[in-house]
Structures are given as C-alpha cells and as structure tokens.
Amino acid sequence: MGKILRINDKNNIPIWFMRQAGRYLPEYRRLREKKGSFLELCFDPETAAEVSLQPIKRFDLDFIILFSDILVIPYALGQDLQFIEGEGPILGDLMDLEKLEKLNFDKCLKKINPVFETLGILKQKKKSKTLIGFCGAPFTVMNYMIERGTSVSHKKILDFIRRHERKAERLIHILQEISVLYLRKQIKAGAEIIKVFDSWAGILSEKEYEKFVILPNKYINDEIKKSYPNIKTTFFPRQSGRKVLKFIEQVQCDILSVDEKYPKELKKEAKKRDIILQGNLSPEILLTGGSKMEKKIKEILFDFSKNKHIFNLSHGVLPKTPVHNINKTIDIIRNYEFNKSTS
C-alpha cells in the first residue's frame, strides 16, 4: 500500500494535500477550460484520472486522491446539482423523504458510475502510490442538501435538525447507507484508503455532534471494516475542538485528519489508540509562503514527531496558492532532520 506502510520512518514522512488537484495548477485550468462544467470533468473517467495524477507528476506526492466531489451523492439521489463559477455548488429541491427512502441505492449509484471507472484507471496507473477514495460525511452532505449550496450562517440546516429532528435522523440514515455502499464500490474499484470529510462538524452542539457526527461516522467505519478489515479508514471531523476526543473513542479509525486547533491530549490519545494523525498546515500560510511558512512546517514536524504522522493541510489548497510554495513545503519536509530537531 505504498508509503503508508513506512509511516514509522521519520526520515521518509508521507505527504499529500487536501484538494491537491485543482485550480492552483495551470495544467488543471487548461483541462477545465476544455471540458466546460465541473461535473463533466468529474464524470469523464480518463480526464478525472489525469487530473488526479497531475499533482503526482508535478510533485511526486505519496498519495493519489480520486478527483471527484462530495456532492455526487445528492446528485445520485436525484437532487439537481450545478457548479457555478464564483458561487460554488447550487442544489435543487430535495426529494420527499418518503420517496428517498424507497430508492434503490445500487441503481442510484449507477448514475455516478464514472467515479468507479476513474478509480479503475488510477489503480492501473498508480505504481507505488497509495490510492485514496472518499465521500462526504452524512451531516456535511445533508448540510449542502438542506442549504442548497454553501452557507455562512448554516441557518437552514440548524433549523432543520432542531425543528425537524426526526426528519433529520431519517435523512442521515439514508445518507449513511448510500455512503457505505458508495465507499464499498470505490474499494472494489481500487481505493486502498477511504476518507470521510465532515467539513461542517464544528457547527454543532455536543448533543447534536453525538447524534449527527459521531454515530453516522461510526456506522460508516464499522460497516467498511466488516467488509474490508484491511482497508485504512480516515476521518476529518473538522473544527471539532475537544469533541474530537469523544469522536476517536467511538470511531475506531486508522487515520484522523486534524485542523489547526485541537486539544493537547489528542496526540497522547492517538498514540494510545495507534491512530495516525494527518495535518495540519494552514492553507492560508501555504498561500502566503515565505519564512512564516517554513517556520510553521518545522513546528508541525516537531509537534507530531512522537506520533505516526502524514503531513497534510488543515483544509484544502486555496486556488491562488503559488505552485512554488508547494514545492518549497515538500522540499522542507523531505530534508527535515528529525534526530537533530527533536533531540
């Protein structure tokens, strides 16, 4: 499984970046102009595979992540989806819950079959790299479905789970079921690691977090492990704060992505549970670059030096990030002398 097997080698630390394929790369922008819409790009297996491999060819990163989007699940469930330049995703009306519950999820996923074809191509081309498949966590996907796009206030989703709690539970159940099926199909197609992005986990109260973040993610992890015990599972309950400690108590994942703010006990707890920590350079610092970036990268390497660690960001690469800042980051990591710095 590529470099993940050498995770304890402190002089050979694995690296990849969330949203590592995308608009900051000139080769991506050229392809995107040719294809037109973002969804067309996602659903063209040859092109999506080429995009997935662009950062590998340029930077020789250790992991290939499938080029797709977390919102292909609502699209598969019949919710209209468009990506508008400068606005982001725009979703249509949500189908009645009664109709959603009666859907055949296998049939729904045929609508996004190109995703599995892309993974098949990447499996053939990945060489020694580790191939990551992914989905959005049920709460985060539900957030977009109810808000019908990106939101700052999250008023609609918070009203929905507080005023229509039973309906929210039913929708979460639908999403966790189709997510498990979707991830199993990704694994069958070639994914060696699966990652579950819960980008909006941090907006919930503790009680809501238990119900809408921990329990659905636990269900996904447990179901994947039942079917594929050797597949590595990664979760990213973004901006969870201290709630992340309860998360790893219940979600027995292999890898946990962390953002910039996490409780000091996390590193000790992760070590005790043999969880690999992944993160956590700020995308804004990566964008700015310079001596501040270099200092922060070294701080992160030192901070996580006693844990199993995959170097990554605290969220996705920003579109205006200079390519030379990525190169510089990789160069610093690969030339970092752990023994000298941690003695």
Spell out the domains of the chain, with CATH numbers in brackets: 2-342 (3.20.20.210)
Q: Is the pLDDT of residue 12 over 90?
A: no
Poorest-pLDDT segment among 5-9, 144-148, 227-231, 309-313: 5-9
CA distance 177 to 165: 18
Q: Note the helical H segments in the chain.
A: 26-35, 38-42, 45-59, 72-76, 97-101, 105-110, 113-125, 138-147, 155-163, 165-189, 206-209, 215-227, 243-250, 266-272, 283-288, 290-303, 323-334, 338-342
The dihedral region occupied by 122, where left means phi > 0, alpha psi between -120 and 50, and beta the remainder, is alpha
Average pLDDT for 114-140: 98
Average pLDDT for 26-40: 91
Average pLDDT for 114-131: 98
Q: Name the band, by pLDDT with cuts 50, 70 and 90, for residue 341.
A: low
Distances from the Cα of 139 to the Cαs of 142, 179, 213, 220, 253, in angstroms?
5, 11, 6, 12, 18
Q: Is the pLDDT of residue 340 over 80?
A: no
Summarised one tens digit per residue, pLDDT across range 86-101 is 889 999 999 999 999 9
Pick from 311, 307, 309: nearest CA to 281: 311
Q: Establish how many alpha carbons lie within 13 A of residue 135's alpha carbon, considering only the half-sphere containing its beta carbon.
A: 34
Pick from 36, 103, 104, 17: nearest CA to 328: 17
Quote the mean pLDDT of the chain. Answer: 95
Output the pLDDT for position 298.
Answer: 97
